[in-house]
Chains A and B, each alone.
Chain A
Amino acid sequence: MTACSQDRNMLATYLDGGLSAEQEKTLQEHLLSCPGCAAEIAAQVRLRRAMKPAAMRFAASAEFRRKVQMQTVPQRKPGLRWFWPAAVAALAVMIVAVVWTRQSTLRNQAFREVADLHVSDLASANPYDVVSSDRHTVKPWFQGRIPFAFNVPEFSGSEFTLLGGRLVYLHQQPGAQLVVGAGRHKISVLIVQETPELGSGLLSFGGVAVRDSFNVETWAANGVRFYVVGDAEQSAIHRLAQSLQGVNK
């Protein structure tokens, strides 16, 4: 046993698979006849097997693994991550802007026309087609002249005075213009048939707004759109609008 000249390293190399085919064959033959080398190789095999757990002795924390994974993980190209949401957002902003611009254009056009009518009436030498402070005179006058009906509130006893009315055209539609006096101010009430075009531009609009130094309030009821426009103070415009709304529900 001890007399065996076989090198231990040779045995280890054999276990490592580091011998040539010829060397391997020679060694295998030797092992069959040498109990010392057989014991040695058995011990080495045993040791190696016993060393295997060293491969799993240290396990990383899940946290650290995640950290390395995050560092390694393919990061989506930043462009792809924000491109679509950004594109959608941009498109939405554009649509809103276009719609808003369109609506505000329509609204501005509508108000400009309303204001123009009001101003032209004030400037006119013959401002009324029907001159009457009596709503029972004014209202029937419009019948047959406009394709819709509206009610005129009773102004007697209020701060307002009905001065008269005339036939106007707003958006190529026949409409009624009532001129109401409020102290020394004149307020025009323009009444036209509601159109989808007008509605889209104006429906969202509530309360009294200031347009080109005029105060304007507009609303729609029963397919008829009302504008109350004048240089009277906002509260007066609003009160007149309310009294009109009261009889045109």
Chain B
Amino acid sequence: MDRAFFEQLAMPLFDQLYNHACWLTGDRADAEDLVQETYAKALRGFGSFSEGTNLRAWMFKILRNAFLNSRSGLKQKTGYLEDEEAGTEEAVAHEVTPEALFLASESQEAIFGALESLPVAHREIILLCDVEEMSYREIAQVLDVPTGTVMSRLARARKNLRAALGAKEAVR
């Protein structure tokens, strides 16, 4: 497949990918490396990309794999494993009421802070779902896990986020 076609499809994803890379790495230089690597790999693999499949999910997946293999990603890898092993029994954070959640949502700073405090696997899945507005199926493609895993991980991630927001709110 030709480069012009690739550029036409892939460049519109640039802002999303860069933003997502920054959220994953927490570092702009690392994010630039990731994005560049993503485009290079995507371009190389574009031949194997069949039209009709989801290019956005495909590129986010490349970005994610690049991240997992990167310096900053390797540090986080254990986090991923722990996340899966933690299983059902998590320390239940104190109950955060809808009212507290509502209040916390008023501060963008608090939301960004809470997102940043999450393990990368949780931050990632919340961003993919709530910010990038991907469907469960797309997220499953990006994370390379079954849809069921997406749903359960998402539930844990949201619980975590809520707890983080509630904690912020409680401190305030």
Partners in one complex: yes
- The CA of A127 and the CA of B149, in the complex, are separated in Å by 115
Q: Whose C-beta in chain A lies nearest to the C-beta of B152?
A: A9
Tell me if B136 counts as interface (CB < 8 A to partner A).
yes
User: How many residues from B make CB contacts under 8 Å with A?
Assistant: 46
> CB-nearest residue of chain B relative to A16?
B129
A60 to B158, CA, bound (A): 28
A73 touches B16 (CB 8 A): no
Q: A12-B154, A44-B101 are in contact. Are A18 and B136 (CB under 8 A)?
A: yes
Q: At the interface, yes or no: A50 with Cβ under 8 Å from chain B?
A: yes
Is A112 interfacial (CB 8 A cutoff)? no
B106 contacts across to A, CB distance below 8 A: 50
Which parts of A116-145 form the interface with B (CB within 8 Å)? none
Contact of A12 among B16, B19, B104, B155 (CB under 8 A): B155
The interface size bin for chain A is 35 or more
A46→B162 CA distance, assembly (Å): 13
Whether A71 sits at the interface, judged by CB under 8 Å, is yes
B22 and A72 contacting across the interface, CB-CB below 8 Å: no
List residues of B whose CB falls within 8 A of some A CB: 2-4, 6-7, 10-11, 14-16, 18-19, 22-23, 28, 31-32, 35-36, 39-40, 43, 98-99, 101-102, 104-106, 108, 111-112, 115, 126-127, 129-132, 135-136, 151, 154-155, 158, 165
Interface residues of A (CB under 8 A from B): 8-9, 12-13, 16-18, 36, 39-40, 42-44, 46-60, 64-65, 67-69, 71-75
